[in-house]
Chains A and B, each alone.
Chain A
Amino acid sequence: MKHIQVVNKGRLCETANKGCGECQTSCQSACKTSCTVGNQHCKQAQAK
């Protein structure tokens, strides 16, 4: 494409209804206060 550079093709739609719940609770990560979910990792993606 000439005008648009795709940095990341999002996969969020593909994950709908596929949650396994095995990932870390976000508040238990490094923060313990403010909630930041988007920087957590998916256990299934990590296993691949």
Chain B
Amino acid sequence: MKNTHSQIHKFYLNGRYIVLDVASESLMQVDQMTYDILDDYHLKSDEETLEKWQKTYPKDEVEEVIAELHELEEQGMLYAPDDYDPMVYQNYDLIKSMCLNVAHDCNLRCKYCFASQGDFNGKRDVMPYEVGKKALDFLVAQSKNRHNLEVDFFGGEPMINFDVVKRLVAYGRSLEGPKNKKFKFTMTTNGMLLNDENMKWIDENMGNVVLSLDGRKAVNDRMRPTISGKGSYDIIFNHIKKMCDIREASGKEYYVRGTYTKYNLDFGRDVEDMARQGFKSLSVEPVVTDPSKPYAILEEDVNAIKKEYDRLALAYLNQEEEGLDYLFYHFMVDLNGGPCVYKRLSGCGAGRDYVAVTPKGNIYPCHQFVGQPEFIMGNVDEGITKPEIKDQFMEAGLLNKPSCRDCWCRYFCGGGCHANAWNFNHTVMKPYEVSCEIERHRVENALMIKIVQDERTAED
């Protein structure tokens, strides 16, 4: 019997037999015979495997397959031992990333907004400069010897408090030299208040810009109305397009980011619509919400979503024929320069190396938990006053979650979204299974795309 803690995942997609070695992340394309033999190779002796499969395939070929599998195993590419230390990230107890909610107010009334349409279940509020300044000081202090720091201006709609954003960026930059830090600032905006002047400033000062748009006009307008209840598409589209054009010209990072819900399970059409509009960097994701909401994605929606990822993946591979040229964030996978084991085990980082700060200066594990008082970890004046909340997230590492421990996809998702787990299971230790099913399927598609793209590169 071989080491059963090691694991592979094999799947058939787009006419290809694909094998992933989970612990090493080696990726292989095999013939059907190898694909079949892998059902037994790890669990039976070579003699038993040969005995079984020589009834289906020529004996000498079965022997060849077994020999090739052994060769891969010896090279650490198949059934590599998964003996990573589940708590290795404990050695990196610092905060490096912050979501700065500079406005708990919004000029849209998006129906799925986890910020309760901009006010986070509380009074509408904007962050005073002094609170933001203390938040940056807190981040710098908590980041210890880490050099690269990230701050995302978020809300609500952060552009409502744009003057404070500008002052905070200037303050952050003033800390870089003396504290040996480098800030990467991100602006996440709905586009409503973008104009020529502030877009120029954003382009010059933001490391990333995330622009919210859900795709087709009807889809966007159903869930993203203005305060008066009218659709926002006609107001925001030109702003977002112009911002993206500026980022394309300057060669800087941006994403047009949409949310799909039960109402648009054909979300791939929204991805393609935005690609046709000329947006080249796209991220469209399932809604995170309370399961009682009518637009929540539930088990009954999974098959339709999987089919849509399959369809989109094929269209994505043939985008050139459609005259398109775009990247879809969730079909991107970096197998050569991807993150280390430490990062995979530590997952999203919420509550541990990533926090969110509200206009009042309260600290939460991430932006999704804002507005739930039981998750207030501290504040920018006193720091972390409830370390037990941080401990809870520290414990929620990938390999400490029973349902993640044996899942083949664990090193791609890092354990999933804590907020989603909390919404559906009321614990951060158990991910929402529907999200997992969706994630696994889109990773399968991402791996298939990787194989096809590599083949095309080799042909060129």
Contacts and interface: CB of A to CB of B under 8 A. Distances in A.
Interface residues of A, number: 45
A11 B25 CA distance: 7
A25 B19 CA distance: 28
A38 to B, nearest CB: 3
A10 B164 CA distance: 45
Interface string A17-39: 11111111111111111111111
A23 B23 contact: no
Interface stretch (B80-88, B242-250, B387-395): B80-88
Given A10-B26, A25-B348, A46-B337, A34 B72 contact: no
A18 to B, nearest CB: 6
Contacts of A26: 343, 347-349, 414
B354 A8 contact: no
B342 to A, nearest CB: 3
A22 B341 contact: no
B415 A28 contact: no
B342 A38 contact: no
Interface stretch (B91-99, B165-173, B314-322): B91-99
Interface string A35-47: 1111111111110
B337 A38 contact: no
A26 B21 CA distance: 23
A38 B339 contact: yes
Interface string B165-202: 00000000000000000001010100000000000000
B285 interface: yes
Contacts of A37: 339, 343-344, 347-348, 411-414
A42 B336 CA distance: 9
Contacts of A32: 152, 154, 188, 210, 257, 367
A44 to B, nearest CB: 8
Interface stretch (B29-37, B269-277, B372-380): B29-37
A7 B257 contact: no
B161 interface: no
Contacts of B353: 21, 25
A22 B148 contact: yes
A18 B348 contact: no
A36 to B, nearest CB: 6
Chain B interface secondary structure, helix, strand, loop or mixed? mixed
A9 B413 contact: no
B27 interface: yes
A14 to B, nearest CB: 9
B329 interface: yes
A38 B411 contact: yes
B443 interface: yes
Contact of A19 (B31, B34, B147, B341): B341
B336 A13 contact: no
B146 interface: yes
Contacts of A42: 334, 337-340, 343
A27 B92 contact: no
B96 A25 contact: yes
Contacts of B454: 7-8
A20 B286 CA distance: 31
Given A22-B147, A25-B348, A28-B186, A15 B255 contact: no
Contacts of B34: 3-4
A31 B152 CA distance: 12
Given A9-B77, A32-B188, A36-B330, A19 B417 contact: no
Given A10-B77, A31-B257, A33-B420, A4 B30 contact: yes
B152 A28 contact: yes
Interface stretch (B44-52, B63-71, B213-221, B223-231): B63-71
B146 A21 contact: yes
B349 A25 contact: yes
Contacts of B64: 2-3
Contacts of A33: 259, 285-288, 368, 417, 419-420
Nearest to B77: A9
A6 B34 CA distance: 13
Given A7-B27, A40-B334, A28 B72 contact: no
21 contacts: A1-B68, A3-B34, A7-B29, A7-B450, A10-B21, A13-B76, A18-B340, A21-B92, A21-B353, A24-B148, A25-B150, A25-B349, A25-B353, A27-B97, A30-B210, A31-B257, A34-B435, A35-B348, A39-B333, A41-B334, A45-B336
Given A20-B340, A25-B97, A25-B349, 5 more contacts: A1-B68, A13-B80, A33-B287, A34-B286, A39-B332
